[in-house]
Structure 1
Amino acid sequence: MSATTVTTSRTVSTPERRRKGYDWGLTRTYIAAVVILVWCLAPFYWMVVTAFRDVGFTFDPTFFFTHVTLDNFRTVFDTSLGNHFAQNLLNSFIVAGITTLVALVVGVFAAYALARLNFRFKFAVMGFILGASMFPGVALVTPLFQLFTNIGWMGTYQALIIPDISFALPLTVYTLTSFFREMPWELEESARIDGCTQGQAFRKVILPLAAPATFTTAILAFISAWNEFLIASQLSSDQTKTVTVAIASFAGSQPHVEPYTAVMAAGTIVTIPLVVLVLVFQRKIVAGLTAGAVK
């Protein structure tokens, strides 16, 4: 009887002690998350609100949708004003897409070699790659301008893609090298024992398991090339101008008036592909993680 009483008292007292102590740590975590979320999304919210406002109410500050209109989005695509935003979007997709593809293909092989193979000066090569990524882009504008002018590449797609690859490739190599280095060697050794060559083991075992890191790196490389402004502003022409350069030289529907609302509308349009891309790649990342776990 006494043992039953002691057991019952212990069973009742444990939840009571848990209810007495409030988890303030979890509350602080939620508050911090909300503050960070509001801080990060406030500029984007202000951009969307301004994009839908009438041009006459630009300097009337408010955090709510008032005087809503779609004229700003029509102005963005109005070719009679000198805006060629549809072509600029296509140019950005071409430059960012090719940059991401080339950086990913080269970066996968380079990262695998740096992480899994033993050769001389491996750490020196990695240090050189990281050093190249820290070189200031503004110092490259004048040499690139002179180089591409001499070879007749000024205003072409390759004049924009090649510098973007040089910026995206170090990030790609560094990210994938860290991922390949953490993968267990036993996976590759098992494939070699089963009769695979090193290339087959890389293609059939390592690459499928590296899908999450590959898609994440692709997102970072695409966003970096999509948002690039400095090189594109100096090396592009009217036919190859990207969206970041086009927004800076927008023309509004009213003369001698800075088209703030049209610029915000263009910024909203430019942000949409990045958001969609991240959502699509997040699904692929989860699928890659699940496939690797099952295999």
Structure 2
Amino acid sequence: MNQVWIEALGKEFKKVLNTFQYPPLTQDIFTSDVCKEWRSILSGLPASDEALKQQMTKRLLKSTIVEIEDMDQYLLFHVKFAHKGELYQAALKLANLTWGIDTLQYTGKDQKNRLIWGVSITLVFALLIASWLLSQKLTHQTSAKQTSPALETSLSTSQWWDDEQFVNHIDVIQQAAEQHGYLLLTEEELETLVDKQVQDSIVTRLAESEEKGDQQEETSNPEESETDPDKETVELTIQPGMTSPDIASQLVAKGLARNEREVIQLFRELDVDKQIRSGTYTIPRAATYMDVIDILTGR
């Protein structure tokens, strides 16, 4: 998987479409057969095909990318989304600048919903504590002086909490929650935290997979390597007239890339073929694909 696609993992599908200028996703991907199939997998879908198309197209645009596969003739974007407390993964096919739905499968319960439910319980617990603290404070005040009509009204309604009361006493609630080892988050903060954890997990797994692949290549082909593992940099010479396949072959031979196909694909995606200049370059062995491109193009 090239560096550009790795950066897309864990991000919202709609944002990736706009960032990398892929064709827009429309309701046309939902044919009658697709609508029938999705109704057999997902519960609670609208009876009308038009309503289903509109609802699920929005759901896919807000979904999160978990994997991108290059199938030579087309690309497969694997995205995840939640529906009725359950997680599903759909494979969206991009061929000839046209989107289509390849597969849809159930992947498990929505853990985020469980987490939000846990936070909701925590909020209720914090509210109860805050209510008790507030009632104790009010009781102490009324013992020192006669209770005013306004205070009596406050005491009689202290058990009922609306949004305004919650905001007015948020400091007391936060303090009570912290004393009991809880952290209060807004729904937006919680979603951001969960999405970041998912993205970090995906990137970590990819990095570990690439590291294992590099170790296997070094073990299986020790005599084919033209580089000295003790050196921290590699010298790369680009001759005038070299093509993308020639440069890709050089990068693989110097140990700066895993295979030629990835390099050629990345050059094509970033449109840097004609920006690479001839000459001899000193490149760090730990350089990423984007680092190598920046060095060869003089960015």
TM-score bracket for the superposition, by shorter chain length: under 0.3
Of structures 1 and 2, the larger Rg is shown by 2
**What TM-score results when the alignment is normalised by the length of structure 1?**
0.25
Larger strand share, 1 or 2: 2
Larger helix share, 1 or 2: 1
State the structure with bigger RCO (CA 8 A, min sep 6), 1 or 2: 1
